[in-house]
Amino acid sequence: MRKIVTVTGEISPEELGSCQFHEHLLIREGRSREINDALFMDSWETSAEEAELLRKAGGDSLIDAQPGGCGRMAEGLARISRRTGLSIICSTGFHKMIFYPEDHWIFRESRERIADFFVRELTEGVDNHCDHEISGETAEQKAGIIKCALDVENLTPQYKKLFEAAAEAAQRTDRILLIHIEPGSDPLQLLDFLQREGMPADRQVYCHLDRAVSDSGVHRKILETGAFLEFDTIGRYKYHSDEEEIRIFKKHIGGGFGKQLLFSLDTTRTRLSAYGPTEIGLDYIRRVFVPLMEKNGVTPEQIGDIMRGNPLRALVGKENT
Ligand SMILES: [Zn+2]
């Protein structure tokens, strides 16, 4: 049986409930903030208020997609989880290279050492002090999934090294890859590469294609392999309306891929209402987007798949649900 590992321990598949599959509740001060001030929220108490909103709206769980070495705050996430009862899965793995200073370990360490690091974070405990060097600490919290990111330069030697390490760690631990896709990068080339590295397609989740890749033929090719797509251009009107987002969901549901779709908000500071009262808030999907889906003809059963069934299928596999 595949495990669901949260920051406060293992949970059973029944306990996962509804899950927002790619969020950010906490990000520590660092390079991310230097690039974008919205990529900084380091108060666990403020973020707990936000988590509470989601709980009140009926949310059960989420994945925090900030990887170790890049401002992840696993201890804070555990506090939020204990205070609110929200199950939180945290990430090992790697983000886009622009989020790391030049002297960061991610550029220096070998594929083997990085794979071992990911495995250790998944099985023994995360390193809460690894934003510059790997400290070797194994904290109480464990990572549950492996976050990866593909940027426009695609599979350079550095990204190849990291994706090989992630694929190896995923297979050694039987966990999934949650993959950030940047506009202009090539997810199909990556999928092919990862399959050749031994990663089954249905253990890979491709994120943000609803804004990163406008050609729905590319979405379809990925879905045909059995991989999952996570969409989160929801309440982000500078990209497109929620109605347009629902049109993308409906297209893939109509194509027979309704059991491979996930949703989330990919929050930053400027989308969390506990940090700014006029922001949409972590409960936006349940408060606004789901009712709008229903109004636009997505059935409760189809919504239930995206909200509950598919997260479980992605994390523990078809045979276990
Ligand atoms: Zn993200």
Domain total in the chain: 1
Per residue in 68-81, pLDDT (tens digit) is 999 999 999 999 99
- Contact yes or no for 298/249 (Cβ under 8 A): yes
Q: How far is the CA of 77 from the centre of ligand 1 (A)?
A: 16
Measured in Å, residue 161 CA sits from the centre of ligand 1 at: 21
State pLDDT tens for residues 95-146.
Answer: 999 999 999 999 999 999 999 999 999 999 999 999 999 999 999 999 999 9
Distance 58 CA to ligand 1 centre (A): 22
Place of tokens 């606004």: 288
Cα(99) to centroid(ligand 1), Å: 12
Task: Tell me how far the alpha carbon of residue 265 lies from the centroid of ligand 1, in angstroms.
Answer: 9
Residue 320, pLDDT score: 56
The β-bridge relationship of strands 9-11 and 4-6 is antiparallel
How far is ligand 1, taken at its centre, from the CA of residue 34, in Å? Answer: 16
Letter string b/e over residues 104-116, b meaning 16 or more CB atoms within 10 A of that residue's CB? bbbeebeeeebbb
Distance (Å) from CA 23 to ligand 1 centroid: 6
Mean pLDDT of 200-212: 98
pLDDT given for residue 1 in this prediction: 75
Calpha distance 225→195 (Å, rounded): 10
Give me the CATH number covering residue 129: 3.20.20.140
Range of the domain at 40: 4-320
Q: What band does 319 get if pLDDT is binned at 50, 70 and 90?
A: low
pLDDT tens per residue, range 225-262:
999 999 999 999 999 999 999 999 999 999 999 999 99
Give the pLDDT confidence of 286-310 residue by residue, as tens digits.
999 999 999 999 999 999 999 999 9
Flag whether pLDDT at 318 surpasses 90.
no
**Residue 236 Cα to ligand 1 middle (Å):** 14
What average pLDDT does range 194-212 have in this prediction? 98
Q: Are strands 4-6 and 177-181 parallel, antiparallel or unpaired?
A: unpaired
Share of the chain above pLDDT 70, in %: 99
pLDDT value at position 321?
52
How much is the pTM? 0.97
Q: Angle 74-84/44-56 helices, nearest 10 degrees? A: 40
Amino acid (one-letter) located at 262 = L
Helix (H) / strand (E) element for 30: namely none
Residue 148 pLDDT exceeds 80? yes
Q: Is the pLDDT of residue 54 over 90?
A: yes
